[in-house]
Chain A
Amino acid sequence: AQKVTQAQTEISVVEKEDVTLDCVYETRDTTYYLFWYKQPPSGELVFLIRRNSFDEQNEISGRYSWNFQKSTSSFNFTITASQVVDSAVYFCALTPYTGANSKLTFGKGITLSVRP
């Protein structure tokens, strides 16, 4: 069985602060994919990143960076110099690389509020 835990439920920061969103996962699969999605107040799910279990290289994209550590089953997401537009719910998700069931298992989400 797969499980994604986002222990933080709500985070509030002041604009320009850095913020890290935590994600811990459980899976028996040896190969899998991890995702982060953003859900702004308008409601749609916006894809941010996909990382496969073969690749533990961390990634930076603009103000976003991701830290994948297989040893601790964590896939954390950092926003540098946060902006009001970053206010949203952020979901971490997991899917097996192959197999009959390719559903995404989501965490409960973290509500991020960035105050001006």
Chain B
Amino acid sequence: DSGVTQTPKHLITATGQRVTLRCSPRSGDLSVYWYQQSLDQGLQFLIQYYNGEERAKGNILERFSAQQFPDLHSELNLSSLELGDSALYFCASSVGWTGGVGYGYTFGSGTRLTVV
């Protein structure tokens, strides 16, 4: 167990629907990162939150949004889902605003989203 908890582990939904992925960071970590892993794009950074505030944004679609709550857990909301959104979504956490300090990044086990 890495200490980063992602739920659900698997999600199957239809096109056009909206889903929410949840991440609880490792105890003591203030940063949460979301990554998308798809066959064609590989591992892509989506967004980072640090202590409740958005810190960095990657190639995140406008249909996607995220937030980090006061208890530091984070949710990634995916709406108007398309077949191409099928992917493995990872959450990672780090103690600071960069994974370069401390012990680095810790990844959760991912949520596998299948859009049918």
Chain A contacts to B: CB under 8 angstroms? 32-33, 35, 37, 43-45, 47, 50, 52, 91, 93, 95-109
Contacts and interface: CB of A to CB of B under 8 A. Distances in A.
A102 B100 contact: yes
Contacts of B110: 43-45
Contact of A33 (B48, B99, B106): B99
A114 B42 CA distance: 22
Contacts of A106: 42-43
Contacts of A105: 45
Contacts of A103: 33, 45, 48, 56, 58
Contact of A95 (B88, B98, B109, B112): B98
B86 to A, nearest CB: 14
Contact of A47 (B48, B88, B98, B104): B104
Of the listed residues A32, A97, A106, the one surrounded by the most CB atoms of chain B closer than 10 A to its CB is: A106
Most chain A CB within 10 A, of B55, B105, B109, is at B105
Contacts of A32: 100
A95 B99 contact: yes
Contact of B100 (A91, A95, A100, A107): A95
B109 A44 contact: yes
Nearest to B97: A102
Contacts of A109: 42-43
A87 B69 CA distance: 38
Given A32-B100, A33-B99, A102-B100, 10 more contacts: A33-B100, A44-B107, A45-B92, A47-B105, A47-B106, A50-B104, A97-B100, A102-B97, A106-B42, A106-B43
Contacts of A37: 107
Contacts of B90: 45
Given A45-B90, A109-B42, A102 B107 contact: no
Interface in B1-45: 2, 31, 33, 35, 42-43, 45
B55 A44 contact: no
Nearest to A45: B107
A92 B48 CA distance: 20
